Amino acid sequence: MNTEYLVISAIGADRLGIADDIAAMVSTNGCNIEESKMAVLGGEFAVIMLVSGNGDKLTSLSAHSDELGRRLGLHVEMRSTRAPLQSEGRPYIIESLSLDTPGILHAVTAVLKNEGINIEELETETSSAPWTGAPMFKMKIRISLPREKALAPFRRLIEDLAEKEDLDIRLEALSGLGSE
């Protein structure tokens, strides 16, 4: 059997059971969920997932995306993709917590882009600080630092960014799978 891959993205009004409905949809069609990210943003549920299976099963699943979307109450898109690539770089996490001000994410991602560093995963969240209620911006980015990029100069860039943008930011190596 030749394994193929499909990316599914879906968004719609949040309700109880959406994650199970999507998992059942994939399973019923004889496919497997390789990776997924699901979140409720405002009142909307959003998911992106990588699904694997043989070509016929993925084709069948994809051919029914409109019908499945109507049944689940979601806007569903499906797209064929390649097998996940193994990162050639060194995995690091960048985490930051600061007062929420416009442009924080752009400031950090611009440094990464300028340095040729790939973002593999990015999450942000805004919440109220305990006691004061001040708006706080939390960010977590998983990157792949290219092998040829020296760590010390990159760490200094992150420290300079922290000072310039008034961020509490840290850069940590991932020691292994699932050790965040």
Single-letter residue type at 133: G
Residue 100, CB half-sphere, CA atoms under 13 Å: how many? 13
- How confident is the model over 57-110, as pLDDT tens digits? 999 899 888 888 998 899 999 999 998 877 788 999 999 999 999 999 999 999
Identify the band that residue 53 occupies on the pLDDT scale cut at 50, 70 and 90: very high
DSSP 156: H
Q: How far apart are CA 52 and CA 6, in angstroms?
A: 6
Q: How far apart are CA 19 and CA 16, in angstroms?
A: 8
Give the CA radius of gyration of the chain.
20
When divided into structural domains, the chain yields a total of 2
What mean pLDDT, rounded, does the chain reach?
A: 91
Report the CATH number that the domain containing residue 57 is assigned in CATH. Answer: 3.30.70.260
Same domain? For 8 and 53 the reply is yes
Structure tokens at 117: 């560093």
Q: How many C-beta atoms surround the C-beta of residue 85 within 10 A?
A: 7
Structural domain includes residue 159: yes
Last residue of a domain, one of 49, 81, 113: 81
Single-letter residue type at 50: L
Same domain? For 76 and 130 the reply is no
Task: List the end-to-end C-alpha distance of the chain, in Å, as a whole number.
Answer: 34
Structural domain includes residue 180: no
175 versus 67: the higher-pLDDT residue is: 67
Range of the domain at 7: 3-81
Q: How far apart are CA 154 and CA 127, in angstroms?
A: 29
Q: What is the pTM of this model?
A: 0.81
Q: Quick one: 96 exposed, middle or buried, by C-beta within 10 A (0-12, 13-18, 19+)?
A: buried
Q: In the prediction, which pLDDT does 176 show?
A: 57
Q: How far apart are CA 108 and CA 111, in angstroms?
A: 5
